[in-house]
Amino acid sequence: MADAAPGAASASRGAPSAARRRIAAVVGVFGELLITAGVVLGLFVVYSLWWTNVIANQEAARDSDAVREQWAAQPEEDADDTTPPREFEPEDGVGFLHVPTMSGSEILVKEGTNPDTLNGGVAGYYTDPVQSSMPWDEEGNFSIAAHRDGHGAKFHDIQDIEEGDPIVFETKNTWYIYRAYAILPETSKYNIEVLDPIPEESGATEAGRYITLTTCTPVYTSRYRYIVWGELERTEHVNADRTPPEELLEASGD
């Protein structure tokens, strides 16, 4: 039998080697694409959960300072707990929410719950699909929403609120002291009955002065809504020093 030509043998040995190189090149490119995608995804997560908080908190701080400066520039008023702030500008902010067990800082509340409002690191009261009442109304449900993650994440720790905890709302003239009395850990995002003037899902059966806090759940998703209900316990007039009510003083250790 004749021996194979040396050139043919070399070609047969080189063919698999070239194929392996091509496969390795394809795998290498695919791997680089995966790494790049992972880096991009990681940067997006950092942007969504950290950088948006930084920007939103800066914006909220400026807006909060502007509201307090406006209040300070207005003359003292003889107001009761049903009097709205003078020069009432809901798009700028109607007051500050204080919930010691959820947040160690005050939360500015503005009109509306659209993304343009909430992305500014604030909470907003509902104007759609239902119209929230206001704290100074004689009855109704003051219904508020805020982000749980990103854009300030003002309601991130809403799960720390327990029944009996104080929920305080501050306007120029009045402290409104509510008490949490019911919690709904999960409900449909389309369940607007939780915002009813008499929120029956909370166990309420008659007209009163309620507050409702709403946000997304589980954490890092927007699939469901987390609800906390409170009822007005009392009001206090804001003195010249803006001394907080005892519930906030106790929480701060003063």
pLDDT one-digit tens code per residue, 171-196: 999 999 999 999 999 999 999 999 99
pLDDT of residue 2: 46
Asked if residue 232 lies in contact with residue 172, where contact means CB atoms within 8 angstroms, the answer is no
- Which residues carry out catalysis? 147, 216
Task: Give the domain ranges of the chain.
Answer: 53-252
**How many C-beta neighbours within 10 Å does residue 222 have?**
13
Q: Is the pLDDT of residue 137 over 80?
A: yes
The most distant pair of C-alpha atoms in the chain lies apart, rounded to whole Å, by: 118
pLDDT at 91: 81
Quote the distance between the C-alpha of residue 189 and its chain's center.
Answer: 15
User: Nearest to residue 109, comparing CAs of 128, 91, 131?
Assistant: 91
Using pLDDT thresholds of 50, 70 and 90, give the confidence band for residue 251. confident
Give, for 69, the enclosing helix (H) or strand (E): helix 52-73
pLDDT of 198-219, one tens digit each?
A: 999 999 999 999 999 999 999 9
Structure-token pair, residue 213: 């806090």
How confident is the model over 29-36, as a mean pLDDT? 64
Kindly report, residue by residue over 65-120, the tens digit of the pLDDT: 999 999 988 876 655 666 666 656 778 899 999 999 998 899 999 999 999 999 99
53-252: which CATH topology? Answer: Sortase; Chain: A; (2.40.260)
